[in-house]
Structure 1
Amino acid sequence: MPWRLAALATLCWAAGAQAADDEGRRLFTTLTPPCALCHTLKDAGATGAIGPSLDELKPDADRVRKVLKTGSGQMPAFTQLTEAQVEALARYVEAATR
């Protein structure tokens, strides 16, 4: 019986992680302006050449959170995002570049 609970918990976690990835991918391509406009990220089909290639940079979630909240260089802060949206994007970019 305990193994069934563990298996169920693993499935629920995986479904939650997939939902976060899906939301992060959606945000990456649909924000105004979309992240995909400036950044290259293979997983999102993005080929932007203005900002750094995220595939090459491989930022961790903490770095993505910070840049989204405060901006960096020519990239503005995305203050219109909710905490949940920032989190979804941060986790997605980190997972997509590993």
Structure 2
Amino acid sequence: MRNISQSFRFIRAARAPIKSQASAATDALSAISVWRALDGDRSIRVLVDEREDVLVAELTFTQGHLEAAMNDLSELCAENGIDRELIAQTR
């Protein structure tokens, strides 16, 4: 099965449902680490983690699991008070 890699920019959600004591980058890393653990075919590669308020990471998953991967990512980001923006995709 083919892989898809998508790069996202993660930031604190303007209307975050929780008030985290951690930085946005830490909460984003927590969310995508759980995302990766939900499926053995998922991987993450942190591209930028230089500031506390932004994390840029490349997420890779199988093409057949696109819908599940994006649903899981949406849910985990929302739970952690994180917004994401797609900045690149490769197949």
The question of a shared fold, defined as TM-score above 0.5 by the shorter chain, is answered with no
* Larger strand percent: 2
Q: The TM-score by the shorter chain falls in which range?
A: 0.3 to 0.5
Task: Tell me which structure has the larger Cα radius of gyration.
Answer: 1
Higher-RCO chain (CA-CA 8 Å, sequence separation at least 6): 2
| TM-score, reference length from structure 2 | 0.32
| TM-score, reference length from structure 1 | 0.31
